[in-house]
Amino acid sequence: MKKVIYQQFGNENVLEIVEAAVPTPEKDQLLVRVKAVSINPLDWKVYRGEMKLMSGSKFPKTLGIDFSGIVESIGSDITGFKAGDEVIGLVDVFKGGALADYVLVKATDLAPKPANISFEQAAALPVTGLSALQIIDELAAIRKGQEVLINGATGGIGLYAIQIAKKRGARVTAVAGTQGTALAKTGGADQVIDYTREDIRNTHQRFDTIIDLSTKMSFTAAKKLMKKKATFVTTLPSPLVLLQSVFNNLFSGKKLKVLILKPTAEKLNILSELAKKDLKIVLDKTYSFNEIRSAYKEAGKGKIIGKSVIVTD
């Protein structure tokens, strides 16, 4: 089978496709034939060496976190899935391994693929969808009637966050570039601000929750836009920000929360059920397996609307 590895940290040129043996599942594992894999910012943060504390520095390393596919075979202890089932899933976020023809996973890493969406759409669900769920329901604990600002609202997490926040009864203000404003409105945002025309930092509005998905808004800047008791959520888990959150949250009503994704089978199934109903999944571009370097090079530049995916077939 084909799989993507890299032997050192660096830019997209370190990524290579190699041949490897198809693995055999242990008794508590499933072998999934991968159909599509999504591209996540965490991917390049790891292979560029920006997350060494989390990923370690042992090589070779593999790439790809969330995927869709078809169960090929199962271990003797597996119940609930069988060969031929269409599934969505994810592997360890810092180890990767989904960018391959086949991947080994445990049942807790999988959920049924909704029949009403494609494999490409399904691959775009787990990481960003679970991130949005964790932000809305746990970190921010958003409730009906709250004012929520989502900065960077039309990337992978943002479009799900808009929709889920609206389902929880919030009033959502979305900040996006010119290309994404119409999509943010379609996703359900009550107010959309084009950051190329208006600086959100100058608004007189005050928010119960600010979710910064662009990683460009500092907590210092956000505090000026927050109510006395409010929450700021960032997706930038740097050691400095983590330390800042610990000390700040002891004394201030304006809380700083950092997203560190904690996937569970329960949340993955909730996400799958949302996709069966009306959760909109937006794809930016689709690439072939042989286009991995150009795919990650383009994605790393930003400006992606929704998610980009790599098709493994």
Measured CA distances, 196 to 9, 12, 26, 210 (Å): 34, 29, 52, 19
Whether 157 and 125 have beta carbons less than 8 Å apart is answered as: no
The domain defined by 128-258 carries CATH number 1.25.40.10: no
Q: What order do you get walking across the sheet with 147-151 strand by strand?
A: 191-194, 171-176, 147-151, 207-212, 226-234, 254-258
Cβ atoms within 10 Å of 204's Cβ, excluding its own: 5
Q: Per residue in 32-47, is it b (16+ CB within 10 Å) or e — as a string?
A: bbbbbbbbbbbbbbbb
Please state the pTM of the whole predicted model. 0.93
Beta strands, E only, 115-222: 147-151, 171-176, 191-194, 207-212
What is the model's pLDDT at position 239?
Answer: 76
Task: Give bridge partners of residue 254 from the DSSP assignment.
Answer: 230
Q: How far apart are CA 97 and CA 117, in angstroms?
A: 23
Whether 36 and 67 have beta carbons less than 8 Å apart is answered as: yes
Helix 156-167 and helix 126-134, axial crossing angle in degrees, nearest 10? 40
DSSP assignment letter at 289: G
Whether 295 and 311 have beta carbons less than 8 Å apart is answered as: no
Dihedral sign from CA coordinates of 206, 209, 214, 216: positive
**pLDDT tens string for the chain (313 positions)?**
999 999 999 999 999 999 999 999 999 999 999 999 999 999 999 999 988 888 999 999 999 999 999 999 999 999 999 999 999 999 998 999 999 999 999 999 999 999 999 999 999 999 999 999 999 999 999 999 999 999 999 988 999 999 999 999 999 999 999 989 999 999 999 999 999 999 999 999 999 999 999 888 999 999 999 999 999 999 987 777 888 888 898 999 999 999 999 999 999 999 999 999 999 999 999 999 999 999 999 998 877 888 999 999 7
Whether 63 and 6 have beta carbons less than 8 Å apart is answered as: yes
Measured CA distances, 210 to 139, 145, 305 (Å): 11, 15, 20
Nearest CA among 254, 244, 222, 208 for reference residue 152? 222
Query: Ramachandran region of residue 147, left (φ > 0), alpha (ψ -120 to 50) or beta?
Result: beta
- Domains of the chain, by residue range, sit at 2-125+281-311, 128-258
Measured CA distances, 278 to 15, 70, 86, 191, 308 (Å): 36, 23, 20, 21, 20
Residue type, 141: A
Q: How far apart are CA 235 and CA 187, in angstroms?
A: 21
Q: How deeply is 266 buried, as exposed, middle or buried, from its count of CB atoms within 10 A (0-12, 13-18, 19+)?
A: exposed
Query: Ramachandran region of residue 36, left (φ > 0), alpha (ψ -120 to 50) or beta?
Result: beta
Nearest CA among 129, 141, 131 for reference residue 274? 129
Please name the residues in contact with 5: beta carbons below 8 A apart, sequence gap of 6 or more. Answer: 15, 16, 18, 60, 61, 62, 63
Nearest CA among 285, 305, 306, 281 for reference residue 296? 285
What is the model's pLDDT at position 33?
Answer: 98
Task: Just give the CATH number of 2-125+281-311.
Answer: 3.90.180.10
